[in-house]
Amino acid sequence: MRPFPPALRATSPLVGRSQRSQALIEFALVSPVLLLLLFGVIDLGRAIFYYDTLNHAAREGARVAVRASNQLPANADVLNMVTAQMLGTPVTEPCPQGPVTAATPPANSAYLYVTEPAPPATVESTPPPNAPGGEYAAAASGSCSAVNPASGNQQLQVTLRFNLVLITPIVAQATQNHVVITAAAVYRTEY
């Protein structure tokens, strides 16, 4: 394309309009990539935040489960502490003493388990000590393992499974709207 002669450049309305159109097209081509990167960084930050929060909540829950006090701790005490540490994230106990299965928690919520170290993925009818000392022994029911309160400085494991739903559309579809983050802490009981 031939440039405009100098005399016509100042008076031609097409000169400024074509540059604005070019900038608009460039922005339309680049903006989806920039937005994808922006939301990807936000999702990465959320994942790191929840990873750290889950690990902290698992440690605090394990501390509550193993502490020696006048009234021995129960599953409800562990759940209350973990819920307080999770900053408003819903936490439930589908089967408090396991088995820890591959079941996916609901969107942006967590499952809590208090079990023996290295819990099995199947129901146990006669498990090793797998509950805080304040719990009562109970038989296995349905898909949940039996309850066997810990004593004699046994180890207990607190496990949290969190389902992180990403906000970046393409990545969320690729992960089928769930990224499960797991955190566990093993402590020896003080009772």
In a domain, 1, yes or no: no
Pairwise CA distance, residues 25 & 19, whole Å: 10
Count of structural domains within the chain: 1
What local confidence, expressed as pLDDT, does residue 178 receive? 87
Torsion of CA 46, 52, 56, 59, to 10 degrees: 130
The model's pTM:
0.85
AA letter at 13 = P
In a domain, 143, yes or no: yes
What local confidence, expressed as pLDDT, does residue 19 receive? 76
Provide the domain limits for residue 120: 6-188
- Which spans in the chain are helix H? 6-9, 14-66, 75-85, 169-174
Pairwise CA distance, residues 111 & 125, whole Å: 21
Helix (H) or strand (E) holding 180: strand 179-188
AA letter at 187 = Y
* pLDDT by 10-residue block (mean), the chain, 191 residues: 59 64 92 94 96 98 96 97 96 96 95 95 94 96 96 96 94 91 97 93
In a domain, 94, yes or no: yes
- Nearest CA-CA partner of 161 in 115, 87, 93, 97: 93
For tokens 């990167």, the residue is 37
pLDDT tens per residue, range 81-134: 999 999 999 999 999 999 999 999 999 999 999 999 999 999 999 999 999 999
- Nearest CA-CA partner of 60 in 39, 28, 83: 83
Question: Over the chain, what is the mean pLDDT?
Answer: 92
